[in-house]
Amino acid sequence: MSVSSRLPDFPWDHLVRYAEQARQHPDGIVDLSVGTPVDPTPEVVQQALRAGADSPGYPLTIGRPETRQAALDWLERNHGVTGLGLDQVLPVIGSKELIGSMAVHLGIGAGDLIGYPELAYPTYEVGAALAGARSLATDSLTAFGPEVPRLLWLNSPSNPTGRVLPVDHLRKVVEWCRERGTILVSDECYLECAWEAEPVSVLHPDVCGGSAEGILAVHSLSKRSNLAGYRCAFVAGDAALVGELLAVRKNLGLQMPGPQQRAMAAALDDDVHASEQHARYAARRRVLRDALEGAGFRIDHSEASLYLWATHDEDCWDTVAGLAERGILVAPGSFYGAAGNRHVRVAFTATDERIQAAADRLRA
Ligand SMILES: Cc1ncc(COP(=O)(O)O)c(C=O)c1O
C-alpha cells in the first residue's frame, strides 16, 4: 500500500466548486476558508531577515543559542513558563512539519495508539497515519478505556472551535498522561490569539507543576507575527523528548534556515507588532461576529483562535453553499471531525475591506 493512500482524504479539494461559485460574485470572493495571514510581516522582522541574508554555512539543527533564548524569554515573559533551559527548545520549519512527523520521529508505529481532539486540525491524524499507528479522536480521557495512548495531542486554543481549555482541565490531562507514560504534546499556536479567555500553556507551573517531564508544547510564529511565509516555529519541553527529536532531525537535515532563525528571534523579542496585530484581528472579529449573528448564526466557543465556529442549525455543506452564493467561502466543520457537521469555520484573517464586504453581504 502506498504511503499516500494511508493518509486521510485531502478535504480542501471538496471546496473547489464552492470557491468557483463565490468567485462569480460581482465584487469578488471573500475567502474566509483558510485562515492565512494577510497583513504585512512586521518591519522589525523583515529587517532581521535582511540583516541575516549573508548565510553561507549550514545552520545547526538545534538552532542558534540566541534564537532558542528568545523563545524561552518569550515563554517566560508572556506566558509565565519558567525553568526551561536551552536544551529544552528546538526551532522547527513551521509547526505543521513537526506535527505531521512527530510520531514517526519519536518511534511510534504500528500497534500504537495516538489520541487527538474530537474536532481537530487534520495534521494530527496525518501524523498517526504516516506512522502506521491507530488513532482516536476524542475529548474524553475515559474513551481510551484500559488502552494507553503513546501520544496525546491537545490544542488550546482550538482550531477549529476556538475553545480554550481551563487550567484545571489541563492539569488533569498532564496527571493522566504522567501516570500512564503517555507523551503529551500541546499545540499552542493560537496562544496569543485570545479575545474572551486567557489561554494557558501546558508548560505553565500551575499546569505542569514546574516540571516539563513527558510534555512538549508546540509554538508557531505564523499567526502571531504574520510569518506564515517564513516557516518559523519551535517546540519546547521535556529535555529527553527534545533531544530525541533533535537526534532524528539532525539526520534528516531538518534545519531552520539561518536568516529565518534571526527573524524568529526578532519576532519573539518584540511584543509591539503582536499587540497591533491582535487589535486588528479583534476589530475584524467583532465586525464578522455581529454580522453572522445578525444573519441568524449562532457562534459557539470561539473565545480564542482566528476563527468563528458558527452554525445555522443545518448541515454544514448547506451553510457552505448558502454563503458561497453570497460570495463568501468558509470551511465546513466536517473537515475537522464528524462532530463538526453542523458548523462552519469562519476565519477572520482577511483584510478590513474584505471583512466589511462579508458583513455587508451577510446583512443584505
Ligand atoms: C492548530 C494548528 N496547528 C498548527 C498549524 C500550522 O502552522 P504553521 O505550520 O504555520 O506553524 C496550524 C495552521 O493553521 C493550526 O491551525
- CATH number of the domain where residue 144 is located: 3.40.640.10
User: How many domains does the chain divide into?
Assistant: 2
Let me know whether 111 and 136 are in one domain.
yes
Of 271, 335, 299, the C-alpha closest to 119 is 335
Which residues are paired to 184 by β-bridges? 152, 215
Cβ of residue 21 lying under 6 Å from some atom of ligand 1 = no
pLDDT (0 to 100) of residue 2: 84
Cβ of residue 218 lying under 6 Å from some atom of ligand 1 = no
Question: How far does residue 140's CA lie from ligand 1's centre (Å)?
Answer: 23
Residue 36 CB coordination number (10 Å): 15
**pTM over cut 0.95:** yes
Let me know whether 277 and 259 are in one domain.
no
pLDDT (0 to 100) of residue 33: 97
Cβ 150 vs Cβ 183: under 8 Å:
yes
Let me know whether 166 and 264 are in one domain.
yes
Residue at grid coordinates 479567555: 197
Four-point Cα dihedral 113, 231, 198, 217, nearest 10:
40
By alpha-carbon position, which residue is closest to atom 14 of ligand 1?
35
As a whole number of angstroms, the distance between CA 180 and CA 207 comes to: 17
Let me know whether 86 and 22 are in one domain.
no
Let me know whether 257 and 287 are in one domain.
no
Let me know whether 133 and 227 are in one domain.
yes
Cβ of residue 186 lying under 6 Å from some atom of ligand 1 = no
Domain stop point among 223, 239, 269? 269
Cβ of residue 187 lying under 6 Å from some atom of ligand 1 = yes
Let me know whether 130 and 219 are in one domain.
yes
Question: How far does residue 32's CA lie from ligand 1's centre (Å)?
Answer: 16
Amino acid in position 6: R
Question: What is the secondary structure of 33-50 as a DSSP string?
Answer: SS----SPPPHHHHHHHH
90: part of which helix (H) or strand (E)? strand 89-92
Let me know whether 160 and 260 are in one domain.
yes
Q: Residue 116 is placed in which grid cell?
A: 487527538
Domain stop point among 269, 291, 313? 269
As a whole number of angstroms, the distance between CA 268 and CA 45 comes to: 9
Of 315, 311, 314, the C-alpha closest to 296 is 311
Which residue range forms the structural domain that includes residue 159? 56-269
Mean pLDDT by 10 residues, the chain (364 residues): 82 92 98 96 98 97 98 98 98 98 98 98 97 97 98 98 98 98 98 98 98 98 97 98 98 98 98 98 98 98 98 98 98 96 98 98 96
Q: What number does the ligand 1 atom closest to the CA of 35 have?
A: 14
Residue at grid coordinates 518591519: 43
Q: Residue 32 is placed in which grid cell?
A: 474566509
Q: Is the previous residue joined to 157 through a cis bond, with omega within 30 degrees of 0?
A: yes
What phi and psi values does residue 218 have, to the nearest 5 degrees?
-110, 130
Let me know whether 237 and 119 are in one domain.
yes
Domain stop point among 243, 269, 295? 269
Question: How far does residue 210's CA lie from ligand 1's centre (Å)?
Answer: 26
Question: How far does residue 294's CA lie from ligand 1's centre (Å)?
Answer: 30
Let me know whether 201 and 111 are in one domain.
yes
